[in-house]
Amino acid sequence: MTSHPVPSLPTPSDPSAARSPDVESSPALELAQLRRDYVVRAAAPGSRRRRRQRVRAVDEISLRIERGEAVGFVGANGAGKSTTIKMITGILQPTAGSVRVLGRDPVPERRRLAREIGVVFGQRSQLWWDLPLRDSYRILGAMHRLTDRALAARLDRLVEGLDLAGFLDRPVRQLSLGQRMRGEVAAALLHSPALVVLDEPTIGLDMVSKEGLRRFLREDRAERGTTLFLTTHDMGDVERLCDRIVVVASGQVAYDGALAGFRERLGSPRELVLDLAAPRLEALALPEGARTLAIEAEGIRHRIAFSGAELTVPALLTRIGAQAEVQDLSLTEPAVEDLVRRINAGDRPG
């Protein structure tokens, strides 16, 4: 029997690496005036020659993310999210500006950095397609120089947390999308990375699979204090996983702040949908802070917008109840997605 103390979780670091205190204490992510241009060749109208054109995908993005933060990086298609991720992971050279990831320069230190970050591309696979899922973890464990014991301990945790046990011995090509994505997340987390970059991790998944994945990502973050950087089109991902949201539009940061204050900052109203017992074509008299958006179904359905900060739902209902009998009602929270759309449309806060 050996008397070595066995760490419950493998450490993400590579023992052979000399890590300066600077690297240890640096922020997880630091982007400064980051820019990336692409040169595209497009046929100019009326000309047979194709013109070279510079397209700016990322335009002076500055962002600082401390270790342990969970940040949702959202924006419309073409806003520059994927380009930013490629620069963060070191597979794309910035045109100008600087990137530091865990204190390192991603392009020259790409392979070094690969030992400290875990990346999930929702659209791509890092698993071995024709082999049982388990084999991919053996190979990845060897690549990350995990000891057999560390690999076994970590894999046990991932198998339990992501519920992989049922298909660990099945070839990857036979897995359903939901199973494969769980497998992909496990692959990215196998070496216990300090920074986890998720590029649309829940794309194409059903609600149950999404929830399972999000729950485990939260658990793992709570256990290890991981930094999470997430791009997504699914605002549910951001709401369930992140405490900070960064919205990009046209390659620039359009909003950066706590998720909690995001809606209030935009002054975004909540919406109350009422179905009245009897049709009423005239608008209800409403207190300050509320207004009728629409009257539908020949006076049966009234849509009322009100601001959550100024007015409570019971107060509003009391006022309405005095005027008409309410048969049914529903309350919708503003979807973050709509808010992002409003930011993208130029309706910037502040």
Partner 1 sequence: MPAHGRIAAAAFRQYSTYRMATAAGIFTNTIFGFIRASIMFAAIGTAGGELGGYTMLQAATYVWLGQALLAPIEAFGTREVSQRVHQGDIAVDLLRPVDLLSLHYAQKLGRAAFLLLARGIPPLVVGALVTGLALPEHPLSYLLGALSLLLAITVAFLADMMVNLAAFWLVETRGLTVVYNATMNLLSGFLIPIVWFPDWLLAIARATPFPSMIQTPIDTLSGRVPPAEALGLIGVQIGWAAVLALAAWAMLRAGTRSLEVQGG
Residue span binding partner 1 (CB under 8 A) among the ranges 138-146, 237-245, 300-308, 309-317 = 138-146
Least separation in angstroms between residue 38's CB and partner 1 is 6
User: Strand order of the sheet with strand 96-101?
Assistant: 50-65, 29-43, 96-101
Report the run of H or E that residue 161 belongs to, with start and end: helix 148-162
**295 contacts: CB under 8 Å, gap ≥ 6:** 280, 281, 283, 301, 302, 303
CB 238 within 8 A of CB 72: yes
User: Could you say whether residue 124 binds partner 1 (CB under 8 A)?
Assistant: yes
User: For residues 130 and 310, which CB has a smaller minimum distance to partner 1 in the complex?
Assistant: 130
With the C-alpha atoms ordered 322, 324, 325, 327, is the resulting torsion angle positive or negative? negative
Residue span binding partner 1 (CB under 8 A) among the ranges 18-26, 88-96, 248-256, 313-321 = 88-96
CA distance 178 to 173: 12
User: Could you say whether residue 109 binds partner 1 (CB under 8 A)?
Assistant: no
Q: Which residues face 197 on adjacent strands?
A: 119, 229
Residue span binding partner 1 (CB under 8 A) among the ranges 128-136, 235-243, 305-313, 340-348 = 128-136
Least separation in angstroms between residue 22's CB and partner 1 is 21
CA distance 302 to 317: 13
Least separation in angstroms between residue 109's CB and partner 1 is 11
Q: Given candidates 60, 135, 163, 271, which one binds partner 1 under the rule CB under 8 A?
A: 135
C-alpha dihedral, 58 to 64 to 68 to 69, nearest 10°: -70
Q: Spell out the SS3 assignment of 166-232.
A: HHCCCEHHHCCHHHHHHHHHHHHHCCCCCEEEEECCCCCCCHHHHHHHHHHHHHHHHHHCCEEEEEC
Count of residues interacting with partner 1 (CB under 8 A): 32
User: For residues 233 and 303, which CB has a smaller minimum distance to partner 1 in the complex?
Assistant: 233
Within residues 52-81, the interface with partner 1 by CB under 8 A covers: none
User: For residues 92 and 205, which CB has a smaller minimum distance to partner 1 in the complex?
Assistant: 92
Two structure tokens written together for 114:
């690969």
User: Could you say whether residue 147 binds partner 1 (CB under 8 A)?
Assistant: no
User: Could you say whether residue 86 binds partner 1 (CB under 8 A)?
Assistant: yes
Q: Given candidates 138, 265, 303, 319, which one binds partner 1 under the rule CB under 8 A?
A: 138
Within residues 1-40, the interface with partner 1 by CB under 8 A covers: 38
Q: Given candidates 2, 8, 123, 330, which one binds partner 1 under the rule CB under 8 A?
A: 123
User: Could you say whether residue 130 binds partner 1 (CB under 8 A)?
Assistant: yes
Residue span binding partner 1 (CB under 8 A) among the ranges 43-51, 66-74, 119-127, 300-308 = 119-127
CA distance 220 to 166: 21
Two structure tokens written together for 37:
């241009």
Cα–Cα distance list, 329 to 86, 304, 310 (Å) = 46, 11, 20
User: Where do contacts with partner 1 occur on this chain (CB under 8 A)?
Assistant: 38, 82, 86, 89-93, 110-112, 114-115, 119, 121, 123-126, 128, 130-131, 135, 138-139, 142-145, 171, 199-200
